[in-house]
Amino acid sequence: MKRVIVYGDIHGCLDEFKDLREKIGIKSGDFEICVGDILNKGPYLGGEMISYLQDHHIRSVVGNNEAKAIKQYKQYKKAGEEYLKSLRAFEIATVLSLRDDDFLFLNSLPLFIKVKNLTILHGGLTPSMDLENLDASLKKEITLIRYLNRELLPIPWSDQENRYKFWTEVYDGREGFIVSGHHPFPKPKIDKYAVNIDTGCVYGGKLTAVVFTVKEDRIDIKNYEFFYKRAKKDYWNSYLKGEKK
């Protein structure tokens, strides 16, 4: 292993993802990981994204959009076409793009990946969470956490008034240096023990990767490098405008 390369939320922006990998210059021995939310909202469908990751041996953790697709695919297989009427157009497109093998791939994605002293997950942690000992209810939270309230508990996305601190601001490093996504920022959010690299590619921002070098038996978490690829367009808001017509 020469480098560990972690990609932010791709959301179906496969062209930007390909360009970013070319810009980084992927080499034999590099270990590539996505922070989740590889599908939904963007121009390429879930099945296409999964095929690309598998063809290039790129790992990923589960994001909330993968968790949603797993649930929807299971319901679709159980209830058939009638179930699709309850979904939005982009969700229907994702479900119909999946094969049973794709479902198995999504279902196999871990909540987190640890590589030496580095941890990759999608959402975030609270101070009381232990990644190796999570009960079922907390496993869903890992993909959803953004901001915490004053008791350092996760708050719903809709509860803006009680927003206190972003979770990375209070994280103490007990699970290693964490790379996450889920909440888009204009640029990577860097804190002492964590960095968030969702920079909103699907919303017209950019796709970000962070590259770490491996030194002896540890990953150098003090001298990482960011790479960026600007989005070709604001895919999500273009979709929303079309949906309203």
Interval 121-140: pLDDT, tens: 999 999 999 999 988 878 88
C-alpha distances in Å from residue 11, one per residue of 38, 95, 124, 134: 5, 14, 18, 27
Q: Cβ distance 46 to 94 under 8 Å?
A: yes
Say if residue 245's pLDDT is above 80: no
H-type alpha helices, the chain: 14-24, 46-55, 64-79, 81-84, 89-97, 100-108, 136-142, 235-244
Mean pLDDT of 46-59: 97
Mean pLDDT of 214-237: 93
Mean pLDDT of 47-69: 97
Angle at 166 between CA 164 and CA 168, to 5 degrees: 140
Q: Cβ distance 27 to 214 under 8 Å?
A: no
Q: Which domain holds residue 201?
A: 3-244
Average pLDDT, the chain: 95
The total domain count for the chain is 1
Measured over the CA atoms of residue 105, residue 93, residue 156 and residue 201, the dihedral's sign is positive
Structure tokens of 204? 């017209």
Say if residue 94's pLDDT is above 70: yes
pLDDT confidence of residue 138: 84
Say what the pTM is: 0.95
Mean pLDDT of 23-50: 96
Q: What is the CATH number of the domain that holds 203?
A: 3.60.21.10
Mean pLDDT of 31-41: 97
Say if residue 148's pLDDT is above 90: yes
